[in-house]
Structures are given as structure tokens and as C-alpha cells.
Amino acid sequence: MGATSHPVAGRDGLAVLDAEEIRRALTRIAHEILERTHGGDEVVLLGIPTRGVPLARRLAARIGEFEGLEVPCGSLDVTMHRDDLRFRPARALGRTELPASGVDGKTVVLVDDVLYSGRTVRAALDALTDLGRPRAVQLAVLVDRGHRELPIRPDYVGKNLPTSQREVVHVLLAEVDARDAVMISDAGGPS
Amino acid sequence: MKRHLISAADLSRGDALLILDTAEELASLADRPIKKLPTLRGRTVVNLFFEDSTRTRISFEAAAKRLSADVINFSAKGSSVAKGESLKDTALTLEAMGADAVVIRHSASGAAHRLAGWVRGSVVNAGDGTHEHPTQALLDAFTIRRKLRGTSRTSRTSGTSGRGAGLEGIRVTIVGDVLHSRVARSNVLLLSTLGAEVTLAAPPTLLPLAVDTWPCAVSYDLDTELPKSDVVMMLRVQQERMTAAYFPSVREYSRRYGLDAARMARLPDHAIVMHPGPMNRGVEIAAEVADSARSTIVEQVANGVTTRMAVLYLLLGGTEFPAVAS
């Protein structure tokens, strides 16, 4: 595991993964996907907005480098399928973009930044059902912080991060946040 | 966003953009095998129509059903309204049935506003007299943005250029019976909120009294406006609301303010022709114009469902309002 040899405390909390460690974790996940899917044939990567989308693109690029294989990559917004809509103000929708090849009969790898309660993934599974019928669905996450509330388990994990429920985990990605890092802070820290 | 959608003036620029961007995402639903989302499961939407309507009622019904809401259609004909029941009593009946949203169309201006004071759910104005029709303005703005700001999704991988964009620099000319048009009023308010430059082109008799207080320009001459227009929106001549002679004859009106092929040729190449429907072919718009490639009339209907889904989602999809939760 990418050990946090020099945790850096900063304004946003404690950095538990730096850019280099994120890069290594994604490289390993890309290899694992190739291994588990027997060469990445018929694989479709779907990122869950916001930060799952650039992660899916990075994984697709890695797989392209390693195997010269172009893996279809898209995004899957789960907002309309969430189970907590009634408890929060209506929120803006993310983007759902499927690759032209669709998802029927494919092995879909859902990609997200943090796995926590598992409710987002449950919503994603529902959203996916309405879009087609994949042969199999797998889950890749950069950080698994535990505290599952549903029987959901990731297939590929960048880093297992034991946390308390009071803590907040932030994944920062260059595409969205101008830098790569995984931060952990106490509740009441940055929102 | 406010709890009700009564007037286009209720929408800030941020609200309007949120609705348009939400509609943009929902538009892709039409290409999918399952054109339905579970979001409003268990919510009830009542379509309360005191005035005849085809596209608006069907559009709201389709929108609510695609979001999995239960829809109750109520039209004045064949209901207790025909026996003389008042709007308030009808509203209280709906209240007792637990409507989460009421979509109302009424011949009296202000009916939606009154209703909002009597029910706990959200009220969506689907046209009240000659006052407003905000969802029509939203779908028109959505159609304009897609057509002229290039978000039209020809391929699934197309860019995101129109998302978050307003209508700055787009010149819209609204032509014809402004006086009786709730569509015109809502469009002037919304399009100017979004940054478009709106001009009304109409005979003086068909302009409302206080039009100089509206955020738009006014012209009596359509022909000088056409070459400067990116969008021409033709309004229906609402003869059913006309209680006096507003113009000498339909033929003369049509000759001065109707859009025919010769007038359409004066438009810039990229310009589009809109009409909220239903059309009086041969009066305000010639058949060849209505059926031309520039006309967005059919697209407006399709965009109507998407835009109304966005409105219903944003009004009903989130936190229950405290009054309703009790």
C-alpha cells in the first residue's frame, strides 16, 4: 500500500496520499483491471461525477499505454437515483455520457473517488440498469474509508483508509482542483 | 429557487440557468431505452386545467410521468367547476387529496398566484389569462440556447459549451399580439434576465399600456427588425380574447406583421423562427415558413417536456418544504 511516510498537515487537513502515490495506485488498479478482465476486452469505464470521471479517464489512458487498447470511457450521473433526495435541497445534475458502444454485454467498471456508505454505488447500479444490461459490473475506488451501510464491496481499491465517521475525506484531482492529493480532516474543517 | 413558479420574474439568473442546465442533462433521456427516472416516485402532480390546452397539458403530464410521479388530470369540463364550484373550493379538494404540486392553467390573470395561497404544495403556472406562462419562456430560452449556443447534442461526445451560458448578445424579436400574450410577457422577463436583447414588434393597438416599463425595446415596423434578429418569435393572434377591433382586417395584419417566405429571406442565415403554438397558418405565419428548416416549432414541443421535467425536479425533487412534511 502507498504508505503515508510523511503526512503533511495543512490548511485542508492531513495529506494521506500525494500526487505520486495517487499515480502509483491508479497504475496498479489499471493493471488489476487488465488482469481480472483477461486483457481488458469488452471493458467500459464509467466515472461517477464529479471526481470519478477524471479518474476513469486516467485509468483508460493507463490501460491504453500498457496494452495499446482503447477502453471506452464515460460518465454516469446518479443524482436522480439517490435515496436521500428528500432530505436535501434539489441539486444540479451531473453529466451522463455513455460511450457509443453502449453498455450491453460489457464489463462495466464503475469508478469513484471515495467509497463510504455505499449509497452512491447503489444509486449507480440502479442508474446503470436503466441504461442497458452489462455482462458484469465492477467497482474501482481511489479510497475506501469503510463504514458501509449497504452490502457493497469494491473490486479495486487505491488505498484502504480507516477513518472515524467524524472525519472528512477529500480527494483533490488536478482536472478539478488544480492538484492531486487525498486529504483527511476533522468535521468542521473545509467543506 | 422559490417554492412556486408563478412568474418568470420569480427566477433569478442563477435559477434560470440551473433549470436550463438540468434540462440539458435530462434531454439525453430521450435517447435511452428506458425513458424514465425514479426521482419523484410517490409524489402526486395535479394538472388543473380550466382552459383548453393540448401541448402544455400533455407536456406536463409526460414530464411528471417520466419522473415517476403520479399524475391526476383535472379539466374544468365534466368536473364540479361546470356546476359552479369556485377555484378556492377546488383547491381545497386538491389539498385534501395531498397534491405535492399543482400545475394550473386558468383564463383569469392571477389565478396561479391566488392558488398558491391556498395549497401547501408547489404551484406551477401553466398560463393564467394574459399574464404569464413561465415554463413556455423556459423552453423557448432552452431552445434558443441549444440552437444558437451549440449544445445541440448531435453526437454523444459533444462538448459542454452551452452549459452555464446565458443568452448574452442574442437579439430576439417577438412579433404580434403582445397585448393578449402571456408567452410574450414571460419571455421578455426571462430572456432579458438571461442577457438577451428583446424587441417587441407589433401594431400599437396590440401592445400593452405599460410596455415602456418592460425590459425590452418596441418597434412598429417588423421589416426593419428582421435583418438584426437572431430569433424571431411569432405570437398567435388570440382572436378568442379580442373584444374589440385591434386591426382593420386579418389580411392587413398578415401583410404587415405576418412572417412569409419573403420576410424570412431578410433574416440572417443563422436565425431561427419560433412559435409557441397553436399556429394560425396564413395569419401570423405562412405555412412554408412554419414547415421550413429554420422553424423550431416541433423542437420547442420536445424541449417542453425536458424543461418541465427540470422544473418539476427542482421544485419537488429536494427537501420537502416544512409545511408539507407535517
Partner-chain residue, chosen from B22, B38, B319, that has the shortest CB–CB distance to A92: B22
| Average pLDDT of chain A to the nearest whole number | 91
B160/A95 CB distance under 8 A: yes
- Cβ-based contacts of A131 with chain B (< 8 Å): 32-34
End-to-end CA distance of chain B: 21
A93/B160 CB distance under 8 A: no
CATH code (residue A142): 3.40.50.2020
Nearest to A141 by CA among A56, A41, A57, A39: A56
Question: A190: pLDDT confidence band, cut at 50, 70 and 90?
Answer: very low
Strands, E, within B176-227: which ranges? 197-201, 217-219
User: Do residues A83 and A77 lie in contact, with contact meaning Cβ atoms separated by under 8 Å?
Assistant: no
Nearest to B302 by CA among B51, B101, B29, B106: B29
3-state secondary structure of B82: helix
Domains B8-132+302-325 and B136-297 alike in fold: yes
Size of interface A-B (CB pairs under 8 A): 58
- Who's near B265: CB < 8 A, 6+ residues apart? none
- Percent share of chain A, pLDDT over 90: 84
B33/A132 CB distance under 8 A: yes
And the C-alpha cell for B147? 440552437
Is residue A109 in some structural domain? yes
- Cβ-based contacts of B26 with chain A (< 8 Å): 93
The topology (CATH level 3) of B136-297 is Rossmann fold (3.40.50)
Query: Rounded to whole angstroms, what are the CA distances from B227 to A190, B173, B217, B264, B270?
Result: 53, 11, 16, 9, 11
Structural domain boundaries in chain B: 8-132+302-325, 136-297
pLDDT of residue B245: 84
What does the pLDDT look like over A114-159, one tens digit per residue? 999 999 999 999 999 999 999 999 999 999 999 999 999 999 999 9
User: pTM for the whole thing?
Assistant: 0.90
pLDDT average, residue stretch A76-94: 91
Q: Does residue B161 belong to the interface with chain A, where contact is any CB pair within 8 Å?
A: no
Q: Is the pLDDT of residue A76 over 90?
A: yes
Partner-chain residue, chosen from B32, B313, B315, that has the shortest CB–CB distance to A131: B32
ipTM, two decimals, is: 0.85
Q: Does residue B307 belong to the interface with chain A, where contact is any CB pair within 8 Å?
A: no
Is residue A174 in some structural domain? yes
Is residue A7 in some structural domain? no
Low-confidence residues in chain B, pLDDT < 70: 82, 151-161, 320-326
Nearest CA in chain B to A77: B25
Mutation choice for B interface testing from A130, A131, A133, A175 by most B CBs within 10 A: A130
- Cβ-based contacts of B43 with chain A (< 8 Å): none
- The per-type count for chain A, helices as H runs and strands as E runs, is 4, 9
Nearest CA in chain A to B23: A93
Sort A76 into a burial class: Cβ within 10 Å, 0-12 / 13-18 / 19+: buried
Count of the separate structural domains present in chain A: 1
pLDDT of residue A30: 97
pLDDT of residue B95: 85
And the C-alpha cell for A51? 471526481
d(CA B262, nearest CA chain A) in Å: 42
Is residue A169 in some structural domain? yes
Query: Considering the domain B8-132+302-325 in this protein, what is its CATH number?
Result: 3.40.50.1370
- Cβ-based contacts of A105 with chain B (< 8 Å): none
pLDDT of residue A3: 43
Q: Is the pLDDT of residue A5 over 90?
A: no
Is residue A153 in some structural domain? yes
Domain that holds residue A181: 16-85+95-186
